[in-house]
Amino acid sequence: MRVLFRNCFSIRIKPLPMQRLEGLSKLSGAERYLDDEPLEGSLKGCLWGMTVRSPISRGTIKRIVYGAGFDWSTFVVVEPADIPGPNETYLIENDQPVLAPGYVRHMHEAVALIAHEDRNLLRRAVSSVRVEVEAEPPVLDFRVAPHADQIQRGSDNLIKKLQIKKGDVHAAFANAFKIVEGEYETGAQEHVYIENNAMSAWIENGANGDVVVVRGSMQCPYYVLNALKHALKRDETRVRVIQAPTGGGFGGKEDYPSTIALHAALLAMKARRPVKIIYDRSEDMAATTKRHPSLVRHKTAVDKNGKLLAQQIEVILDGGAYVTLSPVVLSRGIIHAAGPYTCENVLIEGKAVLTNSVPYGAFRGFGAPQTIFACERHMDRIARALGLDPIEVRRINLLKDGQTTSTQQTISGGTDRHALLNETLRVSEYDKHKHESEAFNKTHPYLRRGIGIATVLHGAGFTGNGEVYLNSKVDVGANPDGKIEVLAASTEMGQGTNTVFTKIAADAAGYDTADVLVCVPDTFRVPNSGPTVASRTVMVVGKLVERAIDDLAVQLGQNGKPLRGPSLKKAITAWHAKNPGKELKGRATYTPPPNVKFDDKHYVGDAYATFAWGACVAHVEVDLRTAAVRVLDFTAMQDIGKVINPVLAKGQVQGGVVQAIGWALTEEFKFKDGGMLNNTLTNYIIPTSDDVPPIRVVFHENPYPFGGGGAKGVGELPMDGPAPAILNAVAHATGADARAIPLTPEHLLPLL
């Protein structure tokens, strides 16, 4: 086993890794996001579009009253009758309407669309519109069983129910040394990408008739394409989706841009003019998807050493008003619920339930941070119940290669999770901070310090057979000048896709990075490499980039021997000289790694082709006067296969950790009648630079042979551990047995 710890915190990496391709453009303010673009070219004569939204959480629309004092003939108005195809947003179940069809299911649901060329007049006009809704009883608390008059789906409002079963928990409970139980809750979280949602649409002439073109901020161009095809009743030759520079996503631009794209397209089709829709922060926060709130119950049988004998876990997610992505968020949630531990008897039951909140959707981690929060708090509470050290309870249970997860997936790959844990403790100066904190707490009148840990795992790529169903494709174009162009739908949204794809392609081709181009995702130019989600881009799509280059190199080589470097470049230019005007491409389609099998009916088998592993340590200080928690130091250890770009990878981890610190301590949703009350950055509190310490990042490198450049996923893993580590540290500091986040001072005070 090769173990290499790379401490990005203290070592200056030499030589410098490849720099972010569009970095200087972003730093200098030259990068043009959609709202920055002048209304020229395709946007000449552009109208602004806005959305009329529901004022209440549930009810039947009686009428829409367009306000007096406006010449409505100068506005373009779109209502459901203007939708050419089904009034459905294409996703897992297509149950979310594009515009509310006579009833509303959540506050701020889109009811109608209005466009005008004068943005200020449009704002006033939209404000004048009154949607009259006859209220029906909404479901506002996912933890409480609905009354009969609150049922809106099936007989019980259930969106999805899933189960994982291994061994026999009930027999194990009967023979347990001790049984530890606990109930854990996590709140909603808003993504707060700094660029709000933005989408434009216009009509072009095409070979088969007019083409609806949509360009905007998004993670998944082909999700948007499928939504347009479905609701506009057009084939892929008559809809085209292009990604604009995207200022952050975190899952928030996974599925919701499909809705905004449809809105922009419908307005543009009715107006026969280009339309831009730019959300402001309050609209973006109130109306778009969030992280699922969760309630997780653990019942665990242990022996006297803390060894897990049986884990019974119940997971309930608030799905919000429509199905959207909840079934797959639940799936990932329950698969991660038992943590990175081995246990012979596991029963996990999960359900996602419908409520009349904004639909909850994708957010970095996708259900795993919620269940891992519960698991890792519970591990500490097991240690406390047995009078054991929380580190030892983890050591005795951590998965070793050859052991199986809750879905009976046999773990392999050669990562030593015990070594990972030891290295995390060393880098974080765990023992020193622990002893110093305990001494400090004996003397200080009102400050209390403590240290906490979490050990985590994160399945990279789509769950189960998801990658097989996606059947992702990547092409590489070989240009007449010998350069190679990566053609994939995977988007750059800040995480570094363009830079990393360039590096992976250059390494595979034996090229200089200057001779590699990455195509802007455009459904007329790039094949469907799948959505830019699930920490899959470098690992899964990066591998396809390598294989597409191999395909090209073999096509041009002799007797199946691939060409590389200058000979490949020469062969490409020679081919074009012989075949003027023709296209030369290498292609690759996803094939699963050997022996990866998952039974998605019974949830047995290889839930993921591989897992990324991690551990983190939080050192905190609690002010007993204010109940405010401050993170003094934080260490994140990640096993992500091979690190392709240390600066970018470190940035993913540090950003993920800080986002998780916000989720753990300050980012609290306030609801009123099912709508977000604090939909502004004034009172939805994300961390500033002064709220967080430097984040120590350590990478464990163990190349994964089926990942691009040897990489495993990195994007989501950093979100999994910080919240439980921080609450474990608060428990160490104060004894407070907090089991819900965000742990704001208001929530901590009663526990002190």
Give the nearest distance from C-beta 328 to another protein in angstroms. Answer: 24
Is the four-CA dihedral 499, 487, 642, 337 of positive or negative sign? Answer: positive
Q: How far apart are CA 721 and CA 713, in angstroms?
A: 15
The tokens for 249 are 């996503």
Name which of 637, 633, 639, 650 is nearest 8 in CA terms.
650
Beta-bridged to residue 546, according to DSSP, are none
The residue within the footprint of another protein, chosen from 210, 280, 431, 481 (CB under 8 A), is: 280
Residue with tokens 């988007």: 491
Q: Determine the interface stretch with another protein among 172-180, 296-304, 561-569, 654-662 (rule: CB under 8 A).
A: 654-662
The nearer residue to another protein, 28 or 205, going by C-beta atoms, is 28
Q: Determine the interface stretch with another protein among 50-58, 85-93, 144-152, 365-373 (rule: CB under 8 A).
A: 50-58
The residue within the footprint of another protein, chosen from 87, 200, 246, 535 (CB under 8 A), is: 246
The residue within the footprint of another protein, chosen from 44, 45, 60, 130 (CB under 8 A), is: 130
Name which of 621, 596, 600 is nearest 328 in CA terms.
600
Report 485-514 residues binding another protein (CB under 8 A).
493-496
The nearer residue to another protein, 32 or 418, going by C-beta atoms, is 32
The nearer residue to another protein, 8 or 266, going by C-beta atoms, is 8
Q: How far apart are CA 132 and CA 379, in angstroms?
A: 51
Q: Determine the interface stretch with another protein among 13-21, 387-395, 478-486, 503-511 (rule: CB under 8 A).
A: 13-21
**Alpha carbon of 377 to those of 248, 287, 731, 749: distances in Å?**
30, 32, 10, 19
Contact assessment for residue 406 and residue 338, using Cβ atoms and an 8 Å cutoff: yes
**Considering the rule CB under 8 A, would residue 31 count as an interface residue with another protein?**
yes
The nearer residue to another protein, 467 or 667, going by C-beta atoms, is 667
Q: What angle do CA 430, 177, 421 make, to 5 degrees?
A: 20
Contact assessment for residue 451 and residue 433, using Cβ atoms and an 8 Å cutoff: yes
Size of the site for another protein (CB under 8 A): 91
Task: Provide the 10 A C-beta neighbour count for residue 606.
Answer: 21
**Considering the rule CB under 8 A, would residue 247 count as an interface residue with another protein?**
yes
For the chain, the C-alpha Rg in angstroms (whole number) is 26
Contact assessment for residue 254 and residue 526, using Cβ atoms and an 8 Å cutoff: no
The nearer residue to another protein, 153 or 364, going by C-beta atoms, is 364
**Considering the rule CB under 8 A, would residue 168 count as an interface residue with another protein?**
no
**Considering the rule CB under 8 A, would residue 9 count as an interface residue with another protein?**
yes
Q: Determine the interface stretch with another protein among 25-33, 156-164, 460-468, 607-615 (rule: CB under 8 A).
A: 25-33
Q: What angle do CA 196, 202, 207 make, to 5 degrees?
A: 135
Name which of 281, 285, 275 is nearest 113 in CA terms.
275
The tokens for 650 are 């470190």
Beta carbons within 8 Å of 299's beta carbon, 6+ residues apart: 173, 179, 180, 181, 311, 312, 313
Contact assessment for residue 322 and residue 360, using Cβ atoms and an 8 Å cutoff: no
**Considering the rule CB under 8 A, would residue 248 count as an interface residue with another protein?**
yes
The tokens for 552 are 């090209």
Strand 308-320 relative to strand 346-354, pairing: parallel
Report 382-441 residues binding another protein (CB under 8 A).
none
Report 86-125 residues binding another protein (CB under 8 A).
107-108, 118-121, 123-124
CA–chain centroid gap for 195, Å, is: 16
Task: Provide the 10 A C-beta neighbour count for residue 431.
Answer: 12
Give the nearest distance from C-beta 429 to another protein in angstroms. Answer: 9
**Considering the rule CB under 8 A, would residue 542 count as an interface residue with another protein?**
no
Contact assessment for residue 317 and residue 352, using Cβ atoms and an 8 Å cutoff: yes
**Considering the rule CB under 8 A, would residue 35 count as an interface residue with another protein?**
yes
Contact assessment for residue 670 and residue 744, using Cβ atoms and an 8 Å cutoff: no
The residue within the footprint of another protein, chosen from 531, 641, 675, 713 (CB under 8 A), is: 675
**Alpha carbon of 672 to those of 90, 130, 141, 442, 675: distances in Å?**
29, 19, 12, 43, 5
Report 184-213 residues binding another protein (CB under 8 A).
191-196
**Considering the rule CB under 8 A, would residue 677 count as an interface residue with another protein?**
yes
The nearer residue to another protein, 282 or 305, going by C-beta atoms, is 282
The nearer residue to another protein, 112 or 379, going by C-beta atoms, is 112
Give the nearest distance from C-beta 176 to another protein in angstroms. Answer: 41
Give the nearest distance from C-beta 699 to another protein in angstroms. Answer: 14
Give the nearest distance from C-beta 30 to another protein in angstroms. Answer: 7
Report 564-593 residues binding another protein (CB under 8 A).
none
Give the nearest distance from C-beta 650 to another protein in angstroms. Answer: 7
**Considering the rule CB under 8 A, would residue 355 count as an interface residue with another protein?**
no
The residue within the footprint of another protein, chosen from 3, 5, 6, 26 (CB under 8 A), is: 26
The residue within the footprint of another protein, chosen from 43, 46, 47, 50 (CB under 8 A), is: 50
Q: Give the containing element (helix H, strand E) for 433.
A: helix 430-443
Give the nearest distance from C-beta 515 to another protein in angstroms. Answer: 21
Report 589-648 residues binding another protein (CB under 8 A).
647-648
Q: Which amino acid type is present at position 368?
A: A
CA within 13 Å, CB half, 583: 9
The nearer residue to another protein, 73 or 682, going by C-beta atoms, is 682
Give the nearest distance from C-beta 195 to another protein in angstroms. Answer: 4
The tokens for 482 are 């010998």
The nearer residue to another protein, 455 or 654, going by C-beta atoms, is 654
Q: Determine the interface stretch with another protein among 288-296, 534-542, 604-612, 677-685 (rule: CB under 8 A).
A: 677-685
Give the nearest distance from C-beta 686 to another protein in angstroms. Answer: 6
Give the nearest distance from C-beta 667 to another protein in angstroms. Answer: 11
Task: Provide the 10 A C-beta neighbour count for residue 67.
Answer: 13
Give the nearest distance from C-beta 393 to another protein in angstroms. Answer: 29
